[in-house]
C-alpha cells in the first residue's frame, strides 16, 4: 500500500464521507449521512464530473418544503451529517433557508461548492444561518488551473472566496480532483494552498463515474505521474506538519484492493437526487433493475428499510466468488457495485480493482488505453468532453 493518509475514505466523489463516521460501525443501517443533491444545474463544465451523463434530462427539482421534509425524516432516522451538493448548490435560491432548517433540526451541515455563484456576503449569510462547514473545490481542468495560477479573474475570485470562508471563522478546506491533465502540478497546487493559508487540502482522485467515465482515456493518470505526485505530496505533508493538513488519495485503479464503497451498500449512506429519487450512492441510478423509489411517493423509512434497491446488496448474501468465500469481505464489502457493473456488466461481481477478481485485467486494460491515448500526438488525441446540457443531450440522445 502507498502511504495515503486517508485511504479509508470510501468515496471522494461526494466530498468525504469521513473515515471517522465509519468508526461508528456498531451503528449499522441508519442513514447517518444524507447527501442532498439539490440541483444538477451548474455554471461549470468539469469533464471529470461524477454527475450522470443524462443530467440535463432531469429538469424537475424538489421544492424547499419537500427538501425540508426529507431532512426531517432522515434526521428522525438518525442522520447527523448533511451534505448539500449537486450540481452547484449555490444555484438554489433557497440554499440559506435549507441550511437554516437543517441546522435547526440538529444536522451538521456541509456545503460542497465550486465557489461559482458565491460571494463574501453569501458566506456571511451561511454563517448566520448556522452552516457548520464549507468545502471549496477548485475546478481543475489544466486550462483552468493554468489560468488560476496565471492570475486571472477566476483565480482572484477563488482567492476572495477562500478568504471569505476564513474570515467567517470556518476552516479553509480546499479540494482538488486530480487526473492526468493536472496531476503534474501538485507542487503548484500546494504552493497555492500555502499562499491561501488553507487548513485542509484534499488531493482527491478522479473516480470514474458519469462524465469522468466517459472521459476516462483522457483523464487516466500514468504510473510515473502518480509516483511523482505522491512523493511531492509527502514532501509537503512533512513540511506543513501542524499547519496545513494534506490528504492524498491513491486512485483505486492502481490499487490491489477496492475501496470500501459507501461503507457498505445501504449501510450509512443515503443520496437524494434533485428530483427526489433516493439512491444508496450517487452513481447507483445506472445499475440494472433499480426501481428508483422517489421521496415524493414514499417515506424515507419505507425506502431505506423496505425498498428492493436499498436491500439489493446489503450484507454478504448477494456476493459471487471470489468475494463470497473471501476473508476480506468485511473490510471492503467487495468494492463498488457501480464499478463492477460498468466494467464487467454484472453489479454482483467482485469490483475488478481487486487483484483477486477474474476481471482485474479490465482495469489494467483501462490504464493501458489511457497510456495509448496519452502517447498519441496531441492533434490526434480525443478532446475532453465537457459536462454541459448540450453534450448531455447529444451523447445520451434525448
Partner 1 sequence: MSDRVFNDDTVLVLAQGYRFQWEPAQNCNVLLYPEGMVKLNGGAGEIVKLISEKKQTVAELIADLTKAFDGVDLADDVYQFLDEAYKNDWLRK
Ligand X SMILES: C[S@@+](CC[C@H](N)C(=O)[O-])C[C@H]1O[C@@H](n2cnc3c(N)ncnc32)[C@H](O)[C@@H]1O
Side-chain-side CA neighbours of residue 55 (13 Å): 28
**Is the backbone of residue 262 left (phi > 0), alpha (psi -120 to 50) or beta?**
left
Q: How far apart are CA 330 and CA 327, in angstroms?
A: 7
Among partner 1, ligand SF4, ligand X, none, residue 306 binds (CB under 5-8 Å by kind): none
Neighbour tally for 126: CB within 10 Å:
27
* Nearer to partner 1 among residue 169 and residue 238 (C-beta): 169
Work out whether 175 is an interface residue with ligand X (CB under 6 A): yes
* Nearer to partner 1 among residue 131 and residue 148 (C-beta): 131
Kindly list the residues in this chain that would bind partner 1 in the complex (CB under 8 A).
15-21, 23-24, 27, 30, 32, 75-78, 80-81, 83, 106, 108, 110, 132-133, 135, 169-171, 173, 200
- The gap from C-alpha 125 to its chain's centroid, in whole angstroms, comes to 25
Cα–Cα distances in angstroms (integers) from residue 40 to residues 30, 34, 86, 174, 355, in the given order: 26, 17, 6, 21, 35
Work out whether 15 is an interface residue with ligand X (CB under 6 A): yes
* 342: nearest Cα among 212, 218, 209, 250: 209
Preceding omega of 43 cis (within 30 degrees of 0): no
Among partner 1, ligand SF4, ligand X, none, residue 133 binds (CB under 5-8 Å by kind): partner 1
Terminal Cα distance for the chain, rounded = 44
Q: Which of 18, 22, 130, 322 binds ligand SF4 (CB under 6 A)?
A: 322
Among ligand SF4, partner 1, ligand X, none, residue 207 binds (CB under 5-8 Å by kind): ligand X
- Smallest distance from the beta carbon of 107 to partner 1, in angstroms? 9
- Smallest distance from the beta carbon of 212 to ligand X, in angstroms? 4
* Nearer to partner 1 among residue 131 and residue 340 (C-beta): 131
Strand 269-272 to 278-279 pairing: antiparallel
Contacts of 285 by beta carbon, 8 Å cutoff, 6+ apart: 52, 273, 277, 279, 292
Work out whether 387 is an interface residue with ligand SF4 (CB under 6 A): yes
DSSP string, 216-266: HHHHPPPHHHHHHHHHHHHHHHHHTTTT-EEEE---GGGSSS---GGGSTT
- Smallest distance from the beta carbon of 245 to partner 1, in angstroms? 9
- Smallest distance from the beta carbon of 333 to ligand SF4, in angstroms? 7
* Nearer to ligand SF4 among residue 244 and residue 284 (C-beta): 284
Q: Which of 207, 267, 273, 350 binds ligand X (CB under 6 A)?
A: 207
154 close to 147: Cβ distance less than 8 angstroms: yes
Work out whether 285 is an interface residue with ligand X (CB under 6 A): no
Write down the residue that cell numbers 428530483 correspond to. 275
Q: Which of 15, 86, 89, 221 binds ligand SF4 (CB under 6 A)?
A: 86
* Nearer to partner 1 among residue 81 and residue 215 (C-beta): 81
Question: Applying CB under 6 A, which residues contact ligand X?
Answer: 12-15, 42, 48-51, 85-88, 112-114, 137, 175, 177, 204, 206-207, 209, 212
Interacting residue ranges for ligand SF4, rule: CB under 6 A: 42, 44-46, 49, 51, 86-88, 114, 139, 257-258, 322-323, 326, 328-329, 332, 334-335, 350-351, 354, 356, 387
Amino acid at each position: 500500500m502507498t502511504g495515503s493518509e486517508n485511504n479509508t475514505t470510501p468515496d471522494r466523489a461526494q466530498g468525504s464521507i469521513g473515515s471517522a463516521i465509519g468508526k461508528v460501525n456498531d451503528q449499522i443501517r441508519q442513514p447517518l449521512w444524507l447527501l442532498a443533491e439539490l440541483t444538477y444545474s451548474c455554471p461549470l463544465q468539469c469533464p471529470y464530473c461524477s454527475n450522470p451523463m443524462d443530467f440535463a434530462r432531469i429538469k424537475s427539482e424538489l421544492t424547499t418544503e419537500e427538501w425540508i421534509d426529507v431532512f426531517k425524516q432522515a434526521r428522525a432516522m438518525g442522520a447527523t451529517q448533511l451534505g448539500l451538493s449537486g450540481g452547484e448548490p449555490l444555484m438554489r435560491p433557497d440554499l440559506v433557508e435549507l441550511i437554516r432548517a437543517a441546522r435547526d433540526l440538529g444536522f451538521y451541515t456541509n456545503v460542497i461548492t465550486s465557489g461559482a455563484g458565491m460571494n463574501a456576503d453569501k458566506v456571511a449569510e451561511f454563517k448566520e444561518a448556522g452552516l457548520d462547514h464549507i468545502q471549496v473545490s477548485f475546478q481543475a481542468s489544466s486550462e483552468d488551473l493554468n489560468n488560476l495560477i496565471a492570475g486571472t479573474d477566476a483565480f482572484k475570485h477563488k482567492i476572495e472566496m477562500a478568504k471569505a470562508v476564513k474570515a467567517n471563522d470556518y476552516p479553509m478546506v480546499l479540494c482538488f480532483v486530480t487526473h492526468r491533465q493536472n496531476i503534474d502540478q501538485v507542487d503548484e497546487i500546494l504552493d497555492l494552498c500555502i499562499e491561501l493559508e488553507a487548513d485542509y487540502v484534499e488531493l482527491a482522485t478522479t473516480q470514474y463515474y458519469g462524465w469522468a467515465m466517459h472521459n476516462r482515456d483522457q483523464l487516466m493518470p500514468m504510473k510515473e505521474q502518480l509516483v511523482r505526485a505522491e512523493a511531492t505530496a509527502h514532501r509537503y505533508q512533512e513540511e506543513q506538519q501542524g499547519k496545513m493538513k494534506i490528504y492524498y488519495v491513491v486512485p483505486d485503479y492502481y490499487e490491489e484492493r477496492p475501496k470500501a464503497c459507501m461503507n457498505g451498500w445501504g449501510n450509512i449512506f443515503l443520496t437524494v437526487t434533485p428530483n427526489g429519487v433516493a439512491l444508496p450512492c450517487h452513481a447507483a441510478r445506472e445499475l440494472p433493475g433499480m426501481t428508483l423509489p422517489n421521496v415524493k411517493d414514499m417515506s424515507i423509512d419505507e425506502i431505506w428499510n423496505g425498498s428492493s434497491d436499498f436491500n439489493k446488496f446489503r450484507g454478504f448474501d448477494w456476493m459471487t466468488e471470489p468475494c463470497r468465500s473471501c476473508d476480506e469481505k468485511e473490510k471492503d464489502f467487495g468494492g463498488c457495485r457501480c464499478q463492477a457493473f460498468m466494467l464487467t456488466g454484472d453489479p454482483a461481481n467482485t469490483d475488478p480493482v481487486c487483484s483477486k477478481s477474474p476481471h482485474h485485467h479490465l482495469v489494467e486494460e483501462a490504464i493501458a488505453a489511457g497510456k495509448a491515448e496519452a502517447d498519441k500526438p496531441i492533434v490526434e488525441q480525443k478532446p475532453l468532453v465537457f459536462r454541459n446540457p448540450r453534450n448531455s443531450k447529444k451523447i445520451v440522445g434525448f
